[in-house]
Amino acid sequence: MPRIFAPLRRWGARPGSLAMLVAGLAIGALTFGSLGSFMVYANSEQFCANSCHEMTSTVALEYKNSIHDINRSGMRATCNDCHVPHEHIPNYLAKMGLFSDLWGHFVTHSIDTPAKFEAKRYELAKRVWVDMKANDSRECRFCHTAAKMDAAKQTTTAKKRHDKMRKENLTCIDCHFAISHKEPDGPGPKELGQVATGKQ
């Protein structure tokens, strides 16, 4: 052990080493504090809906007055509630996807006009559906807990469909999609699963 710590002791004995250590700790604290603050801001509706015109002129407009924006309970689900994991590690990993968004925004300009966005709408929606099917609609279930659903307050049709969901191992997004955004042309989430498994 003394051999391991000897270089550290020699470094500590040099003039200015304490100041360097304090400066390093301060820079580290500032970096992590800034990163944490950005993560909080990046999870806000303000950031998601208004940071780039690609969202402002398309899906952010569609979200306004949708059932997730205005409803009888007053409970709102904002962009991050549906599109970003709530757990810390998955949230950080999802935020790494911002780099591909920045690439598309600044370099390729892949959806920088409403026409380009419409041309890619199905591809973008499909990407979200595939992710939600893979994680069993994790973000939906963060707010909507199946165990707490009051069957007595559901319509007969809703009860039948939820029973079918449990029996056929379906997930929320299989039926509840295009709630806050325009439905794209093409197979929906449930049909995607049938194609993948060979069912018709």
Q: Is 162 annotated as a binding residue?
A: no
Query: Is position 4 within any domain?
Result: no
Instruction: Please tell me the distance from the alpha carbon of residue 113 to that of residue 15, in angstroms, as a whole number.
Output: 59
Query: Is position 9 within any domain?
Result: no
Q: Is 79 annotated as a binding residue?
A: yes
- 134-146 burial, b at 16+ Cβ within 10 Å, e below that, comes to eeebbbbeeeeee
The domain of 153 spans 17-197
Q: Is 176 annotated as a binding residue?
A: yes
Overall number of domains in the chain: 1
Instruction: Please tell me the distance from the alpha carbon of residue 87 to that of residue 161, in angstroms, as a whole number.
Output: 29
Q: Is 143 annotated as a binding residue?
A: yes
pLDDT in tens, the chain (200 residues): 677 778 777 777 788 888 888 899 999 999 988 988 888 898 899 998 888 889 999 999 999 999 999 998 899 999 999 999 999 888 888 888 778 888 988 999 999 999 999 999 999 999 999 999 999 999 999 999 888 888 889 999 999 999 999 899 999 999 999 999 999 999 999 998 654 434 43
Query: Is position 75 within any domain?
Result: yes
CATH code of the domain containing 152:
1.10.3820
Instruction: Please tell me the distance from the alpha carbon of residue 111 to that of residue 122, in angstroms, as a whole number.
Output: 12
Query: Is position 10 within any domain?
Result: no
pTM check: above 0.75: yes
Query: Is position 3 within any domain?
Result: no
Query: Is position 1 within any domain?
Result: no
The C-alpha R_g of the chain, in whole angstroms, comes to 24
Query: Is position 170 within any domain?
Result: yes
Q: Is 181 annotated as a binding residue?
A: yes
Q: Is 82 annotated as a binding residue?
A: yes
